[in-house]
């Protein structure tokens, strides 16, 4: 009997040791998702809100996601369907998610649609919605009740956390292969109509002042309050955050939303140890707190959220407005690795992902409503995601070593300048259609986005993996030739017009140039780029090869394909890897 017990204990211990783990740990200098010690990038898609509410929907959408060349699906789980009656749990749909993910070779990021989804409490069960006395709602300053459960009420927290922890406990028992990579806690938390809750409980918390824990761990916006004695004072939210104002109200709500989520995350860690994140609806278009879902995990509230919810691994942006690179840049911080769980689905997504992986070494990238995209093998997105999957080993090889930069271009931003040290180079990267030779550059059609990862793999040696880009290499003090050259490298128009160049059927250089958008530089230019004379040393292209992921040459590119050695380029019709070697000459 004793031997049997010992054997059982040993087998259990071996099983626990052999079970793979999902962790967020550094690869070089960069936080990276690992499964059983092996790093991976999330090349994913998020399902629409209602696409995981039946087993047939789950089966159909997961099969389509496989055809779209994704490796991960972000999937909602719904409180109202998991706990339709209080205390009675139904895990049919989460089990179907795991089953279909495994059948299609996909991983899952699980989204908890619990107390809040896009600010509102639409996924709370009926027994919660109807009992508004037991589960009170947030109120506006005018006393209007909102369909937003109160973050200040313990009954709300207990009910939400009970369902969430029961779900995660179930997953811990059934997900032996670590199909679930990460868990999103709630969805786009935030207040609407007012910047803060004005219910009786909320007002009491507001009047109690700023918690000393917060004052001790964040830079005080009001510098007059800084100093060792500040932590001992009972400071009000208006004193610390410049109120009365929507901004002070937002800071107050961010702390309490963060504390609520932090408690959920702390409990989740104990039963299902996966990376945790929260997603944010952006504060865009000049809106003030209360006009967008205010107090969510926004970049300008990072210090509050990080202090309130230390068990949450990262804050993630949901990007639907223009200015993609700016939004991504704001969330890529030393203490907050970039993960884009939602972005507007379009054919631009692969180019955007290249920027996120190249410039910020993002954990993952995931367009929203992916089930409504095309799964045609010839569609741009499907081909682009296939290339991202193919290029993942290269991206991992460079990750965490300060080897890469990323570029992204659309019609709002068509040119950028990068400095590449220690080679002392200036890289001018532009949209492919800044070269007017392709008819699509000037026919009024929308420019397909371009993007690339640029890796310095050795002195004067670069890899460029991307689509729709042109890249020139110059010394820091070299002045760019402002003359317009044709595809053959000749001046497009001479100083003395000839009969041939002035014929009605030959468009002049100015007519082409005037159709181009104005150049905008989206990266700072280093000092010393604009000397008054040409550099005595110049940069030339020694060789340019199109290669595969094993660094094997597919073809040597030169002549017309490099504009006679002036630049390297990749058409927007292609996803290509270039291996470029440079040299200096005088």
Q: Who contacts 299 (Cβ-Cβ below 8 Å, separation ≥6)?
A: 280, 315, 317, 330, 331, 333
Residue in the structure block whose two tokens are 């890796």: 455
What gap in Å lies between CA 138 and CA 268, rounded to an integer?
25
What gap in Å lies between CA 265 and CA 183, rounded to an integer?
10
Question: Beta strands 314-319 and 276-281: pairing type?
Answer: parallel
Selection from 111, 183, 185, 188 nearest residue 148 by Cα: 188
**What is the predicted pLDDT for the residue at 536?**
74
Judged by DSSP in three states, 348 sits in coil
**What is the predicted pLDDT for the residue at 191?**
97
What gap in Å lies between CA 548 and CA 552, rounded to an integer?
6
35 touches 46 (CB < 8 A): no
CA angle 332, 334, 339 (to 5 degrees): 35
544 touches 577 (CB < 8 A): no
Spans in the chain with pLDDT lower than 50: 1-19, 223, 228-229, 498-533
Residue in the structure block whose two tokens are 């800084």: 226
What gap in Å lies between CA 364 and CA 357, rounded to an integer?
8
The total of other beta-carbon atoms located within 10 Å of residue 523's CB is 16
CA dihedral 400→405→410→415, nearest 10 degrees, is 160
Domains in the chain (CATH in brackets) are 38-203+252-399 (3.20.20.80), 405-489+508-585 (2.60.220)
Selection from 287, 346, 288, 296 nearest residue 317 by Cα: 296
What gap in Å lies between CA 550 and CA 166, rounded to an integer?
46
Whether residue 450 has a cis bond before it, omega within 30° of 0: no
**What is the predicted pLDDT for the residue at 559?**
96
| Order of all β-strands in the sheet with 30-35 | 22-27, 30-35, 38-40
Residue in the structure block whose two tokens are 């092996």: 38
Residue 365 has φ and ψ, to the nearest 5°, of -145, 135
């Amino acid at each position: 009997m004793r031997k049997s017990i010992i054997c059982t204990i040993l087998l259990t211990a071996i099983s626990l040791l052999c079970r793979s783990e999902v962790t967020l740990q550094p690869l070089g200098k960069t936080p990276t998702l690992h499964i059983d010690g092996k790093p991976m990038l999330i090349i994913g898609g998020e399902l629409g809100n209602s696409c995981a509410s039946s087993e047939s929907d789950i089966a159909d959408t997961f099969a389509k996601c496989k055809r779209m060349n994704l490796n991960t699906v972000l999937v909602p789980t719904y409180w109202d369907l998991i706990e339709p009656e209080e205390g009675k749990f139904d895990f049919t749909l989460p089990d179907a998610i795991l089953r279909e993910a495994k059948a299609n070779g996909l991983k899952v990021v699980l989204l908890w649609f619990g107390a809040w989804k896009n600010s509102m409490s639409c996924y709370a069960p009926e027994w919660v919605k109807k009992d508004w006395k037991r589960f009170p709602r947030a109120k506006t300053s005018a006393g209007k009740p909102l369909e937003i459960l109160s973050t200040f009420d313990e009954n709300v927290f207990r009910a939400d956390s009970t369902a969430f922890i029961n779900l995660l406990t179930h997953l811990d028992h059934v997900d032996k292969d670590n199909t679930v990579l990460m868990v999103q806690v709630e969805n786009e938390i935030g207040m609407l109509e007012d910047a803060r809750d004005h219910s009786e409980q909320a007002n009491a918390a507001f009047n109690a002042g700023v918690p000393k824990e917060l004052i001790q761990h964040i830079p005080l916006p009001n510098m007059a309050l800084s100093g060792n004695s500040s932590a001992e004072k009972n400071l009000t939210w208006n004193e610390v955050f410049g109120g009365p104002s929507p901004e002070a109200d937002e800071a107050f709500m961010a702390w309490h939303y963060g504390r609520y989520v932090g408690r959920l995350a702390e409990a989740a860690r104990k039963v299902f140890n996966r990376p945790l994140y929260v997603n944010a609806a952006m504060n865009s278009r000049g809106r003030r707190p209360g006009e967008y879902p205010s107090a969510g995990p926004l970049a300008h509230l990072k210090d509050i959220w990080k202090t309130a919810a230390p068990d949450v691994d990262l804050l993630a942006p949901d990007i639907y407005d223009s200015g993609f690179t700016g939004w991504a840049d704001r969330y890529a911080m030393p203490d907050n690795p970039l993960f884009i769980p939602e972005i507007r689905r379009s054919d631009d997504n692969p180019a955007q992902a290249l920027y996120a992986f190249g410039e910020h070494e993002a954990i993952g990238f995931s367009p929203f409503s992916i089930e409504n995209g095309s799964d045609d093998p010839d569609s741009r997105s499907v081909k682009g995601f296939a290339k991202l999957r193919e290029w993942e080993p290269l991206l991992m090889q460079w990750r965490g070593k300060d080897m890469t930069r990323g570029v992204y271009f659309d019609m709002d931003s068509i040119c950028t300048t990068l400095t590449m040290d220690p080679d002392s180079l200036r890289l001018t990267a532009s949209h492919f259609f800044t070269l007017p030779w392709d008819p699509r550059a000037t026919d009024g059609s929308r420019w397909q986005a371009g993007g690339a990862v640029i890796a310095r793999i050795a002195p004067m040696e670069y890899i460029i993996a991307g689509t729709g880009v042109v890249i020139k290499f110059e010394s820091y003090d070299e002045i760019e030739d402002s003359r317009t050259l044709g595809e053959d490298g000749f001046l497009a128009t001479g100083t003395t017009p000839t009969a041939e160049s002035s014929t009605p059927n030959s468009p002049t250089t100015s007519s082409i140039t005037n159709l181009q958008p104005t150049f905008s530089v989206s990266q700072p230019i280093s000092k010393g780029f604009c000397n008054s004379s040409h550099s005595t040393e110049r940069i030339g292209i020694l060789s340019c090869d199109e290669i595969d992921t094993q660094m094997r040459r597919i073809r040597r590119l030169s002549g017309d394909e490099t504009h006679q050695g002036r630049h390297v380029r990749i058409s927007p019709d292609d996803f290509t890897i270039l291996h470029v070697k440079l040299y200096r000459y005088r």
